[in-house]
Structure 1
Amino acid sequence: MTHDIVQSATALPASPVDDRKKRMKAYSTAMSIRMICLILVFFVPGYWKVVFGIGAVVLPYVAVVLANVGAGGSSRPVNPGISQQLAIEQQRQE
């Protein structure tokens, strides 16, 4: 009875296309929030102008940082263990 080490696809990083889509979505979300902050600066009274103004100034930096953070090999390999011998292989050996 031989035991083979099983290969696992769960240890692979995200595909470049999926990674790019995720980063584009994060960038678009942050920039949409920035646009809302920029518009609200003209319509809200008092200290809220300062709060939304700071948001409009800081969010582009945050959006770029989020967009540039890729998968970066953050996944850890999973060791699924040793596979059992298949029933058809057992029949062939008998």
Structure 2
Amino acid sequence: MKHQTGTPSATSLPRAPRDSSNRRMTKYFIMMAIRVVCFILMVVITPYGWQTAIFAVGAVFLPYVAVVLANVGDDVHEPDAESPLQALTAEPPRPAEPLPQRPNVIEVRETRPE
């Protein structure tokens, strides 16, 4: 694990577990929908032949593949985000120009209505 110095940027944080779980469930449901379609086509398409065998293989083995893919999770390594502060040039900071000094006096003027 890489040790970061300073404050981590929001783009370098890992994905939330909830997002990963939602992504895996979506993949699982899509594969199960494909399995249902394979099963229906296996029964509906006549005459039975090599197409039926392909749909049968899909209907039988897709649950296994779906469970394996759902349990694997997201092991894809995303490139580390770089802090925008690192992209800045290394110029020394200029000293701030002093603000013009005003006296710290509050002046109240009253005018008479005419």
AA aligned to 1:59 is L
More helix by share: 1
5+ residue gaps in structure 2? 1-5, 100-114
Q: CA distance change for structure 1 residues 34 and 21 in 2, over 3 Å: closer, same or farther?
A: same
Aligned length: 87
The residue number in structure 1 matching 2:55 is 52
Deviates more, 1:28-37 or 1:70-79: 70-79
Cα distance, 1:47 vs structure 2: 1.4
Partner of 1:7: 8
Structure possessing the higher relative contact order (Cα contacts under 8 Å, 6 or more residues apart) = 1
Identity %: 38
Instruction: For residue 70 of structure 1, report the CA deviation from its aligned partner.
Output: 1.7
Structure 2: distance between partners of 1:73 and 1:11:
15
Distance 2:95 2:7 in 1: 18
Which ranges of structure 1 fall in alignment gaps of 5 or more residues?
A: none
Could you say which structure has the larger radius of gyration?
Answer: 2
- With normalisation by structure 1, the TM-score equals 0.73
Separation in 2, partners of 1:82, 1:9: 16
Paired residue secondary structure (1:14)? coil
Q: Call closer, same or farther: CA 1:58–1:90 in 2, change over 3 Å.
A: farther
Q: Counterparts of 2:95 and 2:20 in 1: how far apart (Å)? A: 43
Q: 1:91 pairs with 83, 96, 107, which one?
A: 96
**Counterpart in the other structure of 2:78:** 75
Question: Structure 1 stretches (4+) deviating beyond 6 angstroms?
Answer: none
* Partner of residue 34, structure 1: 35
